[in-house]
Each structure stands twice: as structure tokens, then as C-alpha cells.
Structure 1
Amino acid sequence: MSTTYPTEIAAPAKGRSLWDDARDRLLANRAAVGSMIVLAVITVLSIVGPWLSPHDYDAVYRDYVKVPASLEAYPRADQVQPAFEALAKRARVTIDSYERAGDQVIAQVTSRRAIDPRTVRYIDRSDLFKNAALSGFSNDNKSATMTADIDYKHFYFGTDSNGRDLMTRTFIAGRVSLTIGLLATVVAITIGVLYGATSGYLGGRADQMMMRVVDILYSLPFIFFVIMLVVFFGRNFVLMFIAVGAVEWLDMARIVRGQTLTIKRQEYVQAAEAMGVPDRGIIRRHIVPNTLGPVVVYMTLLVPKVILLESFLSFLGLGIQEPMTSWGVLISEGARNLQGAAWMLIFPSIFLTSTLFALNFIGDGLRDALDPKDR
């Protein structure tokens, strides 16, 4: 009796890792996916927006102070002639006739004495006109034809109390706020996870001493500590918020310590100890990876916390300084001008609240994805 053997052996099916399952659970969460899209759009606008904007974030337009947000270009049709007449009066010339041809203003001007060709500087200094010129002088140079192009500008978010484009400043403020939030959060998470995992795993006197250090740091006045940082680091907000992140790790250290006290009693940790794996290897390969769920959720809460902290410090004069700005600074300025210029508060608030909501929804999605026992 002959026996037949298969000529080919089927390859073993590729298994799915826990990270693959977590990714699928996260992508199935519509709120988390939508929040990631919103956060990505805000981040892209904050990075690319100031480069694409026709206005610099610190450019001041004295003729456009607190103009409302609009899709139409400034100046409006009814603003051109009064503005031109006011500038001509400052230049000490009289307008005999005024005509508008498309995007150009043509006026016959006269003066009691000879018209200086440098008079057009008064027109060019305005934010409403450009390329002003004089031509067709009379024999006595007391009359001429003045022309100027209307300089149209768009302010989609309006302008602030100094005449600066609010859209560009909102985008540049997003760079500052998001950078500060992420930078301080990364520092806090790194220190807090390593410190808390080490304290919880070692236990005993080492744990008691390490946690007493945390209690002592908790007792220090935070504002006093920030003032000391400003004294040492100056107005460099990057260095200052690195140091702020080095203080915000205290909550993270306690959270990770509590998780570690539970994890170190698990069978896989005890098996690693029995096999002679050193403490550093157990913490790196078993303790820290299994605390990622609470760590990621806390991180999504810490970013908005740091952003709000920066707003508070900037309000006290210890954070971002002009002409640089942040969402917190813009909201503080908008609140002071709420009655007459509501757009100064609305647009920065939309960006800040959208970011905060997105981070919270992403945190909920990550918690469900990384800890399926809670589902």
C-alpha cells in the first residue's frame, strides 16, 4: 500500500499582535478617528498657514484696526474716496476732481504753492493705496494729476486692536501652544514613567524615599517655582516649559507607581525574576509596556493642561511675550475686547476648544483600544 505525501507544506498563518488588535479597535471608534482628523487639520494649519498667509504675524496695519472678519477684500467701495481725500488733506493738496477707474484712483490736485513730487509719500504710507504717482504738472507746478492703485487686503478672521491679521496670528499661536503642550508633556511622561515604575517595582524603603521626594515637590508653590525658572532661563519659553514638564511629572509618577504595584505581582513578572532577568530589564520589557494604557490617556489630558497653564502664565506676564503669541494670549485679549470685536475671541477659542475636545476623544479611544477589559 503506497502512501502519498503533500509536495508543499502550507506556511503557518501569521498571528495578530496586541498592537494590531488595539489599532483596529481605535479605528473602529468614530469619535476618536474624527478627532484625529480635526487635530491633524489644526496641526497642518498651524505649521503651513503662516507661510501661505499674505500677512506676517507681526505686521501692523494702522488703517485696519479692529476690522471685522470678512470674505470680501478691504477697503470697501465706500471707504476709498473718504480715505483718499483725508490723505490728500494731510499732503496739503486740494482735490478738484476725483475719478475711480477700476482699481485705480485718478484725481486732479492743486496747491497754493508748487507741488513737491515727494507728496506721494503720504499716499504710499497708507495701507489702502500703493504706487502713487504725480504727472501732468502745470507750468507753475501748482496743479497735477495724482494716481494711486487701491491696495486690496483680505482679513478672513479680522484684525486685532493693533491692526494685525488675526488669522495669521491664530495659526502662529497654534504652533506655540501645540509645541509647548507636546514638549512639556514628553518631558513629564518620560520622567514620570521611569520614576514611578522604578519606585513601584523596587518597593520597600526605596519606594518610601522616592515617594517622599514627590511629596516634597508637591508642597512647593508652583508660581514661585515658575518665577525662579524665568530668572534662570530668561524669556526662552522652550527651556522654561521643558522645566515645567519636569514638574508636571509628579502626577504621572504616582499613576505609574500604582499600576506597577499591581503588575509586578503578575505571573509573567515572577517568571522573569525566576529566570534571573535583571530589574532594569523587567522594568523596560514588562512593567513600562503594560502601563501604556493609563500613560497615553493621561498624556492626552496633560497636553491641554499645559496649554491652559501657558495661557495663565502669559496672562501674568511670565510666558509668551509680544509680538509672539499663543491661543491663550489671543483669548485673553479677545475677552477684553468682547463687546466691540467679538471675532477676536471667537476664532482663537474655536481652535483651542477644538484641540481640547479632540485630545479628550482621542484619549478615550486609546483607553478603550489599549485596555479592552473596560469595554
Structure 2
Amino acid sequence: MTTTSSTGAAVKGRSLWDDARDRLLANRAAVASMIVLAAITLISILGPMLSPHPFDKVYRDYVKVPASFEAYPRADEVEPAFRSLLKRARVTIDDYVREGDSVIANISSGREIDPRTVRYVDRGDMFKNAVIENFSEDKKSAVLRADINFVHFYFGTDANGRDMMTRTFIAGRVSLTIGLLATVVAITIGVIYGATSGYLGGRVDQMMMRVVDILYSLPFIFFVIMLVVFFGRNFVLMFIAVGAVEWLDMARIVRGQTLTIKRQEYVQAAEAMGISDGGILKRHVIPNTLGPVVVYMTLLVPKVILLESFLSFLGLGVQEPMTSWGVLISEGARNMQGASWMLIFPSIFLTSTLFALNFIGDGLRDALDPKDR
């Protein structure tokens, strides 16, 4: 909208969306939460690409090791691990020395030493590039060299020896994707259905709400099992369908708001001007229900994430080797006494995400409140 100033120059007006954006940006808690949520999302997307450990790689020598900035193996772990590996190879260590990041050992055996003995060393997670050289004439003694394979586990490892940092990042991808997909589907269906029912009213409203009541009466787990039968174990398709079930609450909320909004003067004026029902819903009713919608959205995302954790526990959700924050927290709770880091790090990411969504929802509610316009 434009107006003309006293000098005759055209002055561009501000829309309601511009005012809402300015109010949202003035809310420090909401802005900080958007930054936190964007950082968590970015870490979840790029973290697994930058991590040196695949999310599904098992380190058998590093099961439930604590989180540490120091590289593994520790100095006091190198020699015992090296001797244990060569004991399995049935050779004797006559002399052992460590030079920097390598170990050198004079080995001997009652029979000829097989050059393939190095496989016993390379199979472990602590050493690499093992070679046997300087064989004696009878090949019953030689020199074995190996490099120490230093690795970092900044979040520790889980009960299967997998890097918790990479798995936490991958879990963020899964949880955020599930929450976003299910929420978008639920809100889209719920807003359109609820606004249409409330605005049309009468028998149409009664019939549409009876459909919602019937769907409420059906067991949710029945829908889940049915969706698994139709969509298989594809968690993306399954949670899109789960979102198609979670729209019932949204429909009731929007219907209640619509019953109030349609009695407002600006809606009655639009009807008197001959604007179609679809136009009134699009331009007047639905935009004025966005406050409750965004608040419910911030509640629905964590609800879907927790629902995913429940379904994964039943074997109907995310399957190994993929994981999610809910699954990691469930595993961490079972190992809380001996490996608290398995619970702490996924919980930090999940809690931060939930707090950020709540603050963003509060900021959007205040920014979109018609009373503040």
C-alpha cells in the first residue's frame, strides 16, 4: 500500500507481515533460539560429513570409552594391547620399544613365523601398517613394526564401540526430519480442515467434526501397524503418514478460532463485498489463526520426536544402524551408571532443540497476535 506525502512523493506503507517480522526480531529470546536451532540443524547436516568416523563403524577395542579431547589409545594402554594381540598370534615378544607414534618388537616363535601374523595386529583398532622384517635364517625370529592408530572420541563411544559424536549428528538429521515432515503434514491438513469446518458451520461442520471424533476413538497403535504394513520400514514415508494422523488436535484448535473470527466485522464486510468463501478463508481466517498454529507446532515437533522414540523401542520406527535422539537417549538411560556420556550428549541436543522451538513459538505468537497489530 502506498500513500502520498505533503511533498507529493509516494510513501510505501508497511504490511502486517513487516510489522510481525520486526516484532519477532525485537524478541531477543526468539532470535537467540533461531540461531541455536539453525546451528543444531547445520551441525546435524554437515557434522557426519566432517567427522572422521562413520556412524555405523564398530571399534571393538573402544567399547564405552569416556568422552575425551585426548586421543585414544592412552599411553598406558599401548603396550598391554600390543602384547595381547601378539599373544593371540602365538609369538613371543623378546624386546619391546616405542618410538614416537610407532612400536617395534623383536618377536620369536618355536616354529617359522608366518608373515601373515601382521593380520592379528591390523585387525585391532589400536594399530595399523604392521610389517615384519629382518627375519633370522631359520625364520623363527624377526622384527615387527606397527604404527599406533590414534583416534579421538569427543563424545565417547556407545555399548557397541561406535562414535557417539557422529551418531548424535546423524540422529539429529533423523529426528529433525521426522519432526518437520510430520508437523508440516499435520498442520497443513489440520488448518485447512478445521478452518473449512468452522467457517461453513451448520450441518457441514457437524459432519466434519464427527469424522474427527471417529478417528479419535480408534487406537493410535492400530494406525501405526497399518502404516508399517503399507509403507514398510521406510521411516520417512511412515512419519509423513503419522503426520496425517496427528492433524486431529490441530483441526479442533483451528475450528474454535475460526468460529470466533468469522463473526468479526472485517469478515462480514468481506462477505458483503461478495468475496468467495475460499478467498475469505485464505485472506482473513487462516492468517488470523497463525498464532495458535505456531504455538501448537512447537509442541507437535517434540511430541513427534518422542513418538518416534516409542515406536523405535517397539521395533516399528528407526532401525539399526540408523538412530535418532530418542533412541540414543533410551540407550543412554540403560547405561547411565557406567557410561553417563551416552545419555548426556543426546539429551543436550534434544533439550536445546525443544527449548529453542518453545521460545520461537512464543515469539511468533506475540508477533502474529492480531491484538498487537
TM-score tier, shorter chain, comes to over 0.9
Partners of 2:315 and 2:329 lie apart in 1 by: 15
The CA deviation string for residues 248-279 of structure 1, in whole angstroms up to 9 with x for no partner, is: 10011011111111111122222222222221
SS of corresponding position for 1:65: coil
Match 2:34 to one of 24, 33, 36: 36
Residues 157 and 164 in structure 2, CA contact (< 8 A), matched pair in contact too: yes
Partner of 2:147: 149
**What TM-score results when the alignment is normalised by the length of structure 2?**
0.96
Distance in 2 of aligned mates of 1:220 and 1:122: 58
Match of 2:198 in 1: 200
Match of 1:334 in 2: 332
Determine the C-alpha separation between the residues in 2 that align with 1:285 and 1:339: 56
Query: Structure 2: which amino acid aligns with 1:248?
Result: E
Q: CA-to-partner distance for each residue in 1:19-58, whole Å, 9 max, x for gaps? A: 1111111111111111111111110110000000000000
1:260 paired with 2:258, answer: yes
Q: Which amino acid aligns with 2:222?
A: F
The answer to whether the 8 A contact 2:103-2:145 is kept is yes
Range with greater deviation from structure 2 (173-182 or 312-321): 312-321
SS across alignment from 1:13: strand
Q: Is the 8 A contact 2:288 2:370 kept in 1?
A: no
Q: 1:217-228 to 2 correspondence within 5 Å?
A: 217-228=215-226
User: Which position in structure 2 is the counterpart of 1:241?
Assistant: 239
Identity between Structure 1 and Structure 2 (%): 84
Aligned-partner residue type, residue 140 of structure 2: K
- Residue pair 2:60, 2:125 contacting (<8 A) in 1 also: yes
What is the aligned partner in structure 1 of residue 300 from structure 2? 302
2:73 to 57, 72, 75: 75
Q: Which runs of 5+ in 2 are unaligned?
A: 1-5
Select the residue among 169, 172, 177 that pairs with 2:170. Answer: 172
TM-score, length-scaled by structure 1: 0.96
Corresponding residue number in structure 1 for 2:317: 319
Q: Which amino acid aligns with 1:124?
A: D
8 A contact 2:45–2:169 mirrored in 1: yes
Aligned pairs (5 A) from 1:84-163: 84-163=82-161
- The secondary structure found in structure 1 opposite 2:145 is strand
Q: Which amino acid in structure 2 is aligned with residue 320 of structure 1?
A: V
User: Equivalent residue for 2:353?
Assistant: 355
Equivalents in 2 of 1:227, 1:29: separation in Å?
43
Q: How many residues in Structure 1 have an aligned counterpart in Structure 2?
A: 368
What is the CA deviation profile of residues 104-141 of structure 1, one whole-angstrom value per residue up to 9, with x for unaligned ones? 00110011111110000000001000000001010111
- Superposed CA deviations along residues 138-191 of structure 1, whole A, max 9, x for unmatched, are 011111110000000000000000000000000000000000000000000000
Does the CA contact (< 8 Å) of 2:231 and 2:238 recur in 1?
yes
SS of 2:318's partner is coil
- The farther-off stretch of 362-371 and 269-278 is 269-278
Displaced runs of 4 or more, over 3 A:
none
**Residue of structure 2 aligned with 1:186, choices 184, 187, 196:** 184
Distance in 1 (alpha carbons) for counterparts of 2:317 and 2:26: 40
Residue 224 of structure 1, CA deviation: 1.7
- Cross-structure match for 2:3: none
Once residues 153 and 54 of structure 1 are traced to their aligned partners in structure 2, the CA distance between those partners, rounded to angstroms, is 9
Aligned to 2:342: 344
Structure 1 residues 374 and 307, CA, compared in 2 at 3 Å: closer, same or farther? farther
Deviation, structure 1 residue 13: 2.2
Paired residue secondary structure (1:64):
coil
1:80-103 superposed Cα distances (whole Å, 9 cap, x missing partner): 000000011111111000010000
Amino acid at match of 2:159: S
Query: Distance between the aligned counterparts of 2:305 and 2:283, measured in 1?
Result: 32
| Structure 1 Cα separation of the partners of residues 26 and 286 of structure 2 | 26
Q: Which of these residues, 328, 353, 373, is aligned with residue 371 of structure 2?
A: 373
Unaligned runs of 5+ in 1: 1-7
Distance (Å, rounded) in 2 between the aligned partners of 1:294 and 1:372: 12
Deviations along 1:306-358, whole A, 9 cap, x unmatched?
Answer: 11111111112111111100000000000110111000000001111111111
Partner secondary structure for residue 311 of structure 1? helix
Q: Which range moves more in the overlay, 11-20 or 142-151?
A: 11-20
1:24 is aligned to 22
1:130 match: secondary structure: strand
Tell me the equivalent position of 1:3. Answer: none
Which whole-Å deviations, capped at 9, do the CAs of 1:182-204 have from their partners, x for residues lacking one?
00000000000000010011000
